[in-house]
Amino acid sequence: MPDDLNWAIGGEAGDGIDSTGKIFAQALSRAGRHVFTSKDFASRIRGGYTAYKVRTSVDRVESVVDRLDILIALTERTVEENMDELHDDSVIIYDGERTMMKDFEAPGEMTGLDVPLKRLAEEAGGAIVRNIVALGAACEVADFPIENLDESLEKRFGDKGSAIVDTNKQAARLGQDYVADEYGLDTGYELETTDSDYVLLNGDEAIGMGAIAAGCRFYSGYPITPATDVMEYLTGRIDQYGGKVVQAEDELSAINMALGAARAGARSMTATSGPGIDLMTETFGLIAQTETPLVICDVMRSGPSTGMPTKQEQGDLNMTLYGGHGEIPRFVVAPTTVAECFHKTIEAFNLAEKYQTPVYLVSDLAMAVTEQTYEPEQFDMDAVEIERGRVVDEDGIEEWTNEKGQFTPHAATDDGVSPRTFPGVEGGAHMTTGLEHDGLGRRTEDEQVRVEQVDKRNRKVETAREREDWSPREFGDPDSDNLVISWGSNEGAMLEALDFLEEEGVDVRFLSCPYIFPRENLAEDIREADEVIVVECNATGQWADVLEHDALERVKRINKYTGVRFKADELAERVKEELAGEPAEVEAE
């Protein structure tokens, strides 16, 4: 038996797939097991097939793999969709009394468990708890103590009253008993529990939590997959700290509201996905030109245009790096794990205010929908430091006023950072414009002032290069001649791929880059390695292009643009092929 178990529930959209999966994932997490979840949608666009997958182990799990051990199939299509991941030892739980499943037979050597889910659910108190019966059955198959489900059920249904909770608990037990009595099978699984208390959250939630921790008070956004969870997380919660979420009429409004709040002194943020970033780009330039601190979060999905809204891609790198007319100083930060979504959000707010610059916080669909377990200490609130940069109050304003007593909000300083006052501060009244301006903030076309202001704004980036740490996260064998580089959410899959590769005697040094701009110059690392492979979820290799530009050296590329994230074993195989000089074609799922 492998150390980890891969479990899934699949059916039609509306079958309660997500909530059932979440209940199971939380039960595992509370029982001290690590969990990594993924939401799976068909790569063929038809019908409403949806699945929630849970990978669990006592050790940390950082990615998905190409294997499915227990599948609750509410429809026959669920089995078809997952055929590639099913294997001879897989167990499929289904309801043979359901008309559409009555002729179902488990393929090959697989074990099919026909459990009358609906009938048992009705026995427990209502057909609606059908999925919970299936969960109970799955617990029996996996030898996972069913009591662990109880707390999850209480959390999920507690506000509907104890009768509902009891019905669910009963349903789970009926499912468990049915499998024990009718099949009495010993699959050999044993889902060991530990005393650890993990928290389970996804990337969007981690970004929202990071924002509150960082003192964000204003959020405006427009709903868009897969960024909406950030807004939903903040709604209600941010109010407890004196903040507010405003659902705007469109992305143009959202970013302009966020800009207004930032000018009024609030730590402010908006989040969207690629199509929304397109709309926001006009104001992105204004934010940089007016030197307004703002965090703009891009949770990427497949593009271009509306592309595949529920699919993974890292296709927006160039847009965040180069988007907008003219030349725009900016920071682009791309967290590499769910936990880093929290830490990098806090960092993004500090960068924005210290340098009075827009910050792109770039995440992606895979990270947004992945729930992963962490020790709560990973989110150490005591360690959060808030740096607001050069904010000037009544007492400090004189230092920044000219001989006529006018405040100079765009003074050209040595480090490029100007004084900033919040409205309400006496003597600080000033105009800010997207037009080129002088130190007072007034429009100018004076050649010398233009050059002075452009240089000043660009100098902020140079100052930040010197003052901050932009290094990548390093893993694997530091002395290896094989160098793999990735950015954003590929870190987990690559970390596990390192284990697979090590087993096969392949050593790799791995650099995972959270900073797109500014970034550490990897030219020396690239030149010193024999083989350099850049891994990313896009077709053209945008990060590889950037690194080639920096190092003036060609690099190899592993690209995936099927709409599905890298799986650890798949990635290991492709790294091996690249190192052996046999690049594989991109395979459709």
Partner 1 sequence: MSSDIRFTDFKSDAQPTWCPGCGDFGTMNGMMKALANTGNDPDNTFVVAGIGCSGKIGTYMHSYALHGVHGRALPVGTGVKMANPNLEVMVAGGDGDGYSIGAGHFVHAVRRNVDMTYIVMDNRIYGLTKGQFSPTSREDFETSTSPEGTKQQPVNPLALALSAGGTFIAQSFSSDSQRHTEIVQQAIEHDGFGFVNVYSPCVTFNDVDTYDYFRDTIVDLDETDHDPTDYDDAKEKILDADKEYQGVIYQDESSVGFEEREGLSESMADIPDGAPEDAMDLVREFY
Tell me the C-alpha to C-alpha distance, in Å, between residue 277 and each of 55, 259, 296, 467.
33, 15, 9, 29
d(CA 296, CA 363): 11
Output 242 or 478, the one with its CB closest to partner 1.
Answer: 242
Using CB under 8 A, which of 10, 136, 243, 358 touches partner 1? 243
Q: Is the peptide bond before 309 cis (omega within 30 degrees of 0)?
A: no
Span interacting with partner 1, options 423-431, 490-498, 543-551, 570-578, rule CB under 8 A: 423-431
- 277-306 residues in contact with partner 1 (CB under 8 A) are 282-283, 286, 290
Residue 437 DSSP one-character state: B
Q: How far is the CB of 432 from partner 1 (least distance, A)?
A: 5
Contact 514, 342 (CB under 8 A): no
| Residue 147-186 contact track with partner 1, rule CB under 8 A, x = bound | ----------------------------------------
Confirm or reject binding of residue 33 to partner 1 (CB under 8 A): no
Alpha-carbon span 535 to 454, nearest angstrom: 35
How, if at all, do strands 509-513 and 473-476 pair? antiparallel
* Near partner 1 in 76-135, by CB under 8 A: none
Q: How far apart are CA 504 and CA 422, in angstroms?
A: 59
Measure the N-to-C terminal CA separation of the chain; round to a whole number of Å: 26
Residue 264 makes contact with partner 1 by CB under 8 A = yes
The three-state (H, E, C) secondary structure of 276-335, written as one string = HHHHHHHHHHHHHHCCCCEEEEEEECECCCCCECCCCCCCCHHHHHHCCCCCCCCEEECC
Q: Which x/- pattern, by CB under 8 A, does the window 377-416 give for partner 1? A: --x-xx-xxx-----------------x------------
Pick out residues in 424-463 that bind partner 1 (CB under 8 A). Answer: 424-435, 442-443
The answer to whether residues 47 and 100 touch, using CB atoms and an 8 Å cutoff, is no
Strands (DSSP E) found in 16-48 = 34-41
> Whose Cβ is closer to partner 1: residue 318's or residue 433's?
433
The interface mask with partner 1, positions 202-241, x = CB under 8 A, is ---x---x--xxxx-xx-x----------------x-x-x
Category of 495 on φ-ψ map: left (φ > 0), alpha (ψ -120 to 50) or beta? alpha
Contacting partner 1 within 190-209 (CB under 8 A): 197-201, 205, 209
Q: How far is the CB of 268 from partner 1 (least distance, A)?
A: 7
Q: Letter for the amino acid at 112?
A: G
> Please, what is the minimum distance in Å from the beta carbon of residue 509 to partner 1?
33
Q: At what angle do helices 147-157 and 162-182 cross, to 10 degrees?
A: 150
Q: Please select the residue that binds partner 1; options are 60, 118, 244, 473, rule is CB under 8 A.
A: 244
| Interface region with partner 1, contact rule CB under 8 A, candidates 1-9, 128-136, 246-254, 502-510 | 246-254
Q: What is the 3-state secondary structure (H, E, C) of 486-517?
A: EEHHHHHHHHHHHHHHHHCCCCCEEEEECEEE
In the complex, least distance from residue 242 CB atom to partner 1, rounded to whole angstroms? 6
Task: Single out the residue of 115, 262, 332, 411 in contact with partner 1 (rule: CB under 8 A).
Answer: 262
What φ, ψ does residue 373 adopt, rounded to 5°?
Answer: -85, 145
Q: Could you say whether residue 242 binds partner 1 (CB under 8 A)?
A: yes
532 binds partner 1 (CB under 8 A): no
Q: What angle do CA 176, 180, 186 make, to 5 degrees?
A: 115
Rounded to the nearest whole angstrom, what is the least distance from the CB of residue 401 to partner 1 in the complex? 13
Pick 239 or 577: Cβ nearer partner 1: 239
Q: Which is nearer to partner 1, 118 or 244 (by Cβ)? A: 244
Considering the complex, state which of residue 398 and residue 589 has its C-beta at the smaller distance from partner 1.
398
At its nearest, how many Å lie between partner 1 and the CB of residue 93?
27
Binding-site ranges for partner 1 (CB under 8 A): 29-30, 197-201, 205, 209, 212-215, 217-218, 220, 237, 239, 241-244, 246, 248-250, 252-254, 256-268, 282-283, 286, 290, 376, 379, 381-382, 384-386, 404, 422-435, 442-443
